[in-house]
Amino acid sequence: MRFLPFIPMAILMGACTQRQAQLDYPEAPCDSTVYEVFGMTVADPYRPLENDTAEATLEWVKAENDLTRRYLDAIPFRSALHDRLDTLNRYARRGAPWKGEDGKFYWSANDGSHNQAIIYRADTPEAEGEVFLDPNSLSDDGTVALTGLFQSNDGKYTAYTISRSGSDWTEIYVMDTATGELLPDHIEWAKFTGASWDADGFYYSAYARPEAGKEFSNANEFHKVYYHRLGTPQSEDKVAYENPDQPLYFHSAEASKDGRMLAISAGGQGVGESVMVKDLTKGGAKWTVIEPSQDFTNAIVSMKDGKVYLFTSVDAPRNRFVMVDPAKPARDNWTEIIPEDPDGGVLTEVHFAGDDRIIAVFDRDASNHAYVYDLSGKLLNEIALSTYGTAAFSADRDSKDVFYTFSSFVYPSAVFSYDLATGESKALYSPEIKGFNPDDYITEQVFYTSADGTRVPMFTVRRKDLTPDGTNPVYLYGYGGFNITLNPSFNPNRLLWLENGGIYAQANLRGGAEYGEEWHQAGTKQQKLNVFNDFIAAAEYMVDRKWTKPELLTIEGGSNGGLLVGATVNLRPDLFRVAIPRVGVMDMMRYHLFTIGWNWASDYGTADDSPEMAKYLLGYSPVHNISNDGTPYPAIMVTTADHDDRVVPAHSFKYAAALQAANTGDAPKLIRIDSKAGHGAGKPVAKVVDEYADIYSFIFKNLGIEPATGK
């Protein structure tokens, strides 16, 4: 890894002068901020950009967007790319049905003409259905997204959660399930929450109302669980659980359907969650701790008859499924139902299906495999899935109706029903995309060797008639963090790349969950270098085997993947022609000071932890390690959004300003700042199409390729 000396870093970052470049970059707000961390001098000249509501920042944002728009709008094929992407995104699709507490079936669907999917309901899952809730009616531009539906246990009421402009802030509304009439109940400033119903109301999680003007940047602390009684104002909601000694914990509540138990999960300072339960039928009952540590994944699958059914990584780095009796909560008393897979598979999903079956999904080399078990954990059969892909199941303990979706890189999400008695799957809905035939494409999995000898998997997708010969453009995507697995999944925007002769490659880097907690830990804190080396090795694999060459290589990643792209470019700028760091974590010295950035410390560590940790972070922090010696960098387009309160836009602002000021060659260094958008979730289709039209236009132009359009 190329660690730059600390004093030169301070000198580099301390320069506020604007270099001469082919593009006339706006002058960023800049000052002489320098601070010390464990005796190390760190310059932070673009600190003013952290104030995203300051007039100088707003002027800079406008100037940057104006420059980026002029550059992109001058690309002659952008309009055609936009039209093709619009066609690819505007296909009819639907989600798996689920059975509501009112006995009706619900599902999401979009005929291709809407920015947001609509919720339908019917008496049977095969019926056409009636509109139950249309999120498109909640805003004029599709920037209000539905994020959850939660029916009361008697089915009489439905709470739904929304996000505005992509923010993590959540609002909760309540409607009469039968009539659709909106009730006066309205919850504001909730976050990371659903609505868990009890007899006459629901539990939800929230922070205190944020300071005006700092709603999307200030650190969030003291997450509490509240109980809202239906028909009362939010001001009368009672605190059901809080931990004033732990301001950085998340708290979520789940009530059992029988009204007997309430569970609280707490996370935020480890890789997992602690779990405690209370018997609501006993007045004054104390909390029973099932798992005190946040060092393990713990997710409640079901609570019934006073027992807790838990998906857990306790004593199982690749996860297992257990039953816990709160009367005997010690780990030694847990009853194991589905053990950790002895063959190396990672348990990722567990559902009860009716009162006598369990469906479990395992990852094997980053691809889903599904199985049916009885209640004792005896394996009954496998649910056949057609190729590398991702399956998501809809099943419930109170119903034998089982549905699932399955998708892969070139197959959009299809809906199936599954018969527990016969073991057969039946297709309910298979979407088609105009002008695209998935049978023309092939997906392969390869394994390559990283710098330290670790074997890393990677998926590649290409046209069947395309022979890799060293002249193929490659789009390499990665993430590598937070115990997240990159399974084969569908994204209609990738199809434009594939149909224009590009190869898509998705590397399953360390830091993810592809092989369990050991794989995750190997990419965290002072092992983070492994993630960057894995990504570099993936690119080198493609070049060494004559699939492509550096002049035709594009890398992209978002959030933690944006950090990946920024760090990798600094390490190996010679290996890529284009880089797209999206909503990335770019200032590793200060990330923990904004919104929920502190929650990422379990993966990253912080500059406050120790001199060794601070030095390690400073050694790869993208904004602090940009070359200034004339080394040519790839063409880079940074993307962020004004309502991103997950990774605040200041990360991208400071990184783009530093790039534009540094001497890294004449390839363009642009930033695209979306408005009324957030970290990515819930983004309306129109905005998605606009964004990818810009991304692909930038990529093709800087690869020197004129795409064939209008297919």
Q: How many residues does the chain have?
A: 711
Q: Which one from 152, 196, 450, 559 is the annotated catalytic residue?
A: 559
In 510-586, at which residue ranges do the beta strands (DSSP E only) sit?
A: 553-558, 578-582
Q: How far is CA 691 from CA 10, 275, 364, in A?
A: 34, 40, 33
Residue 29 has what DSSP assignment?
P
Q: Which two tokens stand for residue 367?
A: 């691809």
Q: How many CA atoms lie within 13 A of 619 on its CB side?
A: 16
Tokens read off for 538: 């993936």
Backbone dihedral region of 190: left (phi > 0), alpha (psi from -120 to 50 degrees) or beta?
A: beta
Residues 6+ apart with CB under 8 A from 374: 356, 357, 358, 380
**Closest by alpha carbon to 486, among 445, 518, 430?**
445
Strands 414-419 and 399-407: antiparallel
If you write DSSP's letter for every residue of 384-411 in order, what string do you get? ---SS-EEEEEEETTEEEEEEEEE-SSS
Residue 527's identity, in one-letter code, is Q
Residue 491, C-beta contacts closer than 8 angstroms, at least 6 positions apart:
none
The encoded tokens of residue 588 equal 């590793």
Residue 131: both structure tokens together: 């509109």
Pairing of strands 288-291, 144-151: unpaired
Collapsing DSSP states into helix, strand and coil, what is residue 417?
strand
What three-state secondary structure class fits 190? strand
Sequence letter at residue 4: L
**At residue 208, what is the residue type?**
A
679: annotated active-site residue: yes
Q: Which of 251, 351, 369, 679 is catalytic?
A: 679
Structure tokens at 691: 């964004």
DSSP string, 653-699: HHHHHHHHHS---SS-EEEEEESS--SSTT--HHHHHHHHHHHHHHH
343: buried, middle or exposed (CB in 10 Å: 19+, 13-18, 0-12)? exposed
Looking up tokens 């298979």 gives 430
Q: Hey, what amino acid is at 28?
A: A
DSSP state of 364: E
Q: How far apart are CA 538 and CA 465, in angstroms?
A: 23
Nearest to 308 by CA among 295, 318, 298: 298
Helices 560-571 and 650-661: angle between axes, nearest 10 degrees: 20
| Backbone dihedral angles phi then psi of residue 596, each to the nearest 5 degrees | -105, 25
46 class by beta-carbon count within 10 Å (0-12 exposed, 13-18 middle, 19+ buried): buried
CA distance 645 to 353: 37
Residues 6+ apart with CB under 8 A from 330: none
592 is catalytic: no
Residue 554 Cα distances to 33, 88, 462, 471, 535, angstroms: 34, 21, 15, 13, 12
Residue that is written with structure tokens 């022609």 in the block? 577
Residue recorded with tokens 């009616």? 137
d(CA 633, CA 687): 29
Note the Cα 261 to chain centre separation in Å.
31
Residues labelled as active-site residues: 559, 679
